[in-house]
Amino acid sequence: MKRVVPRVMGRSSRSDTDGSPGWGPAAAAAGPALRAVGLTRTYGEDESLVWAVDGVDLDVPAGQTLAVTGPSGCGKSTLLQLLGGLDRPSEGEVWLGGRRIDHLGERALARLRRRSVGFVFQAHHLMHELSAAQNVELPALLAGASPRAARHRAAELLHQVGLAHRARHLPSELSGGQRQRVAIARALANDPLVVLADEPTGNLDSAATHDILRLFDELRAAGQTLVVVTHDERVAATADRVVSMRDGTLADDTRLDGNRGRRHGHGGTGLGGTGLGALLSWED
């Protein structure tokens, strides 16, 4: 099998993504991949005021996989959206790769999201009229890659997630788990600094969940910084670290390093560097 080395490990080859001073590999290497300082998001006002995220301080070192858990309504999705620049805090700061992003203008923020953040949602949000390959090509094209480079990258990623043979299929011709794997491939298309996933297994049966768990394990081994919001403790068990939220705040912060293999039965592959797909034998 082709030895696949995900370019998630190749952050040092990333060129300056938007030409701004202080942005790029040196800045990314200098501090945590993600940092939240006093992060606060309220909705509504007066009697209907909701503190969805309430003064969260959080550092996510480069290469760490972090699971965010907690009861419904505690602020997990809001936190993830703030970290990815999909939403603006009411107060506090968000830093991505050593650069403060919460006060960027809309265009700069959109460009940053496209190039540096890979999103995976519960509902995969694939474009229905595009094939699997075209869906994965799209972010690279939008970020300015040549059609040839985008095609090449999409083929590589679909191979990595075990879907090379489904590249021409429309999302409607794929299973739920396959669609989510395409969505993960799409999230990786621009070699993002961070991947943010919101309930990525929420709609999946247990076999498909298992595929996603394997993929997250491979991403962890490859050094991809990943933040995943999840109710599923099997997903949380793939992470290096789990934080749980209560009422908009971080209530608990646990490192799982060293326990992953025992916790979900297929971790601890020791792949570090062999990359996605190297030991995977997808069965579809």
**Interface residues toward ligand ATP, by CB under 6 A:** 43-44, 50, 52, 70, 72-78
Nearer to ligand ATP, 35 or 76 (CB): 76
**Bridge partners (DSSP) listed for residue 252:** 244
Nearer to ligand ATP, 120 or 163 (CB): 120
**Bridge partners (DSSP) listed for residue 118:** 195
Nearer to ligand ATP, 191 or 198 (CB): 198
- Residue 90 Cβ vs ligand ATP, minimum distance, rounded to whole Å: 12
Q: Which two tokens stand for residue 183?
A: 């969505």
Nearer to ligand ATP, 70 or 139 (CB): 70
Nearer to ligand ATP, 102 or 218 (CB): 102
- Residue 87 Cβ vs ligand ATP, minimum distance, rounded to whole Å: 9
- Residue 102 Cβ vs ligand ATP, minimum distance, rounded to whole Å: 17
- Residue 118 Cβ vs ligand ATP, minimum distance, rounded to whole Å: 19
Cβ proximity of 67 and 241 under 8 Å = yes
- Residue 84 Cβ vs ligand ATP, minimum distance, rounded to whole Å: 13
* CA-closest candidate to residue 235, choices 215, 255, 249: 215
- Residue 214 Cβ vs ligand ATP, minimum distance, rounded to whole Å: 24
| Alpha-carbon span 34 to 81, nearest angstrom | 13
- Residue 179 Cβ vs ligand ATP, minimum distance, rounded to whole Å: 20
Question: What values do phi and psi take at 11, rounded to 5?
Answer: -60, -25
Nearer to ligand ATP, 23 or 119 (CB): 119
50 Cβ partners below 8 Å, 6+ apart?
42, 43, 44
Q: Which two tokens stand for residue 105?
A: 């203008």
What b/e string do you get for 160-176 counting C-beta neighbours within 10 Å, with b at 16 or more? bbbbbebbebbbeebee
23 Cβ partners below 8 Å, 6+ apart?
16, 17, 97, 98, 99
Nearer to ligand ATP, 156 or 199 (CB): 199
Nearer to ligand ATP, 38 or 273 (CB): 38
Task: Report the helix count and the strand count for the chain, using DSSP H and E.
Answer: 9, 10
* CA-closest candidate to residue 60, choices 216, 273, 275, 243: 243
- Residue 195 Cβ vs ligand ATP, minimum distance, rounded to whole Å: 18
In whole angstroms, how far apart are CA 69 and each of 83, 234, 250, 265, 274?
15, 12, 10, 20, 29
